[in-house]
Copies of this chain bind each other. A is one copy, B any other.
Amino acid sequence: MASSITIALDAMGGDLGCEAVVSGASIARVRQPDVRYEFHGDEGQLKPLLDADAELKAVSTIHHTDVAISMDDKPSQALRAGRKVSSMWLAIDAVKQGRAHAAVSCGNTGALTVMARMVLRTMPGISRPALAAIWPTMRGETVVLDVGANVVAEHDALVNFAIMGEAMARTALGQPKPTVGLLNIGAEEMKGNEQIKAAAETLRSTHLDFEFAGFVEGDDISKGTVDVVVTDGFTGNIALKTAEGTARLIGDYLSNAMRRSLASRIGYLFARGAFNVLRQRMDPSRVNGGVFLGLNGVVVKSHGSATAEGIAAALDLAIDMARNDIIKKIAVDLEQVQGGRDDAAEQAEATPEPSTA
């Protein structure tokens, strides 16, 4: 791959439209000036926005389409209307064609999952991609996956999520040897469903190049107990949205508390700097962007309501993943485990009743 990275943007999918996407790229460009952008969307809207930002325009191209996937479309509707013609499809296809190193969309998650899978295909040994998010913790950041690409995940899928999440933690968090935990409702062996127990058994018995830390609970995510938290997309999505809701609730409590009395208003003025730091740390746009893992290409899903700052964060993540060639890292890891699994299968055949206690 060339040293310069190109990112393909679905400029039509988000709630805030082309304007937020172009503004986001404008912020990202200042931070990483050597990246190029392909905007997929309505030229009539995109051209004036880029004309107003000469520096961004110099590193950008516009690929016109006026077909947008709506947030309310079911994946089947999105495919009927948007296959090969929508801004979402075309941005992903730019990765497939080798023109772009990653695609970024703020669009409908269901449609994006289906289109990304159809265009880029899953990697060998992976049946479904997972959506991974970076979560702020007391110790730094943790990768959580799946946060919504799959409603259910069988034990093999959970094992693959562990492998892919570990590669992402090395790439995005710079952890040389990440620890991986399986999200469960108790640290005791007896708890949890069958898929989780079987996945834990495989992760313990297979020779992997990372430390499997066993089960973790919901509060371990924010504690930063492990670098990677593995779960199915249903549970992960609910955990992510519950955390977002809790942060908003506390922000609401805080601003009400600060308006309570004259003294608290004076206090607020003095502590304004501290509140700004807090607001930045709590700002969901800072960690905006889920990465689809397990595809033959990088696709980043930004929040549908992401502002320019949020889109810039998603672009940073996409650039980081592309620059560090995460796809190749995952492929190497998967191959290694596939080998390990074959060994384990042979051993299992040799032993009539493998222990699962």
- The reply to whether B263 and A267 form a contact with Cβ atoms under 8 Å apart is no
- The reply to whether B282 and A274 form a contact with Cβ atoms under 8 Å apart is no
Known: A72-B188, A243-B242, A267-B267. Contact between A277 and B249, CB under 8 A? Answer: no
- The reply to whether B245 and A257 form a contact with Cβ atoms under 8 Å apart is no
User: What residues of chain B lie closer than 8 Å to A271, measured between beta carbons?
Assistant: 257-258, 263-264, 266-268, 271
- The reply to whether A222 and B245 form a contact with Cβ atoms under 8 Å apart is yes
- The reply to whether A244 and B219 form a contact with Cβ atoms under 8 Å apart is yes
The contact string, 1 if C-beta is below 8 Å from chain B, for chain A 63-78, is: 0000000001011000
Known: A244-B218, A253-B282. Contact between A191 and B151, CB under 8 A? Answer: yes
**Copies of this chain assembled into the complex:** 2
Asked if A47 lies at the interface with its beta carbon under 8 angstroms from chain B, I say no
Most buried by B among A136, A193, A217: A217
User: What residues of chain B lie closer than 8 Å to A188, measured between beta carbons?
Assistant: 72, 74, 110
Give the docked Cα–Cα distance between A258 and B219 (Å): 24
- The reply to whether B219 and A242 form a contact with Cβ atoms under 8 Å apart is yes
CB closest residue in chain B, given A144 = B242
Count of chain A residues with Cβ under 8 Å from any Cβ of B?
67
- The reply to whether A217 and B238 form a contact with Cβ atoms under 8 Å apart is yes
CB A70 to nearest CB in B, in angstroms, measures 12
- The reply to whether A238 and B235 form a contact with Cβ atoms under 8 Å apart is yes
A182-217, CB < 8 A from B: 183, 185-186, 188, 190-193, 217
Asked if A240 lies at the interface with its beta carbon under 8 angstroms from chain B, I say yes
Q: Which of B152, B219, B258 is in CB contact (< 8 Å) with A248? A: B219
Asked if A220 lies at the interface with its beta carbon under 8 angstroms from chain B, I say yes
- The reply to whether A267 and B261 form a contact with Cβ atoms under 8 Å apart is no
CB A287 to nearest CB in B, in angstroms, measures 12
User: What residues of chain B lie closer than 8 Å to A266, measured between beta carbons?
Assistant: 267, 270-271
Asked if A23 lies at the interface with its beta carbon under 8 angstroms from chain B, I say no
Asked if A260 lies at the interface with its beta carbon under 8 angstroms from chain B, I say yes
CB A13 to nearest CB in B, in angstroms, measures 16
Asked if A223 lies at the interface with its beta carbon under 8 angstroms from chain B, I say yes
Asked if A332 lies at the interface with its beta carbon under 8 angstroms from chain B, I say no
Known: A242-B219, A253-B278. Contact between A192 and B234, CB under 8 A? Answer: yes
What are 10 pairs between A and B in contact, CB < 8 Å?
Answer: A74-B188, A183-B238, A218-B240, A218-B242, A250-B278, A253-B278, A257-B275, A258-B274, A263-B274, A267-B267
Given A217-B241, A219-B248, A253-B278, 6 extra CB contacts under 8 A: A185-B238, A222-B246, A250-B250, A257-B281, A261-B273, A267-B271
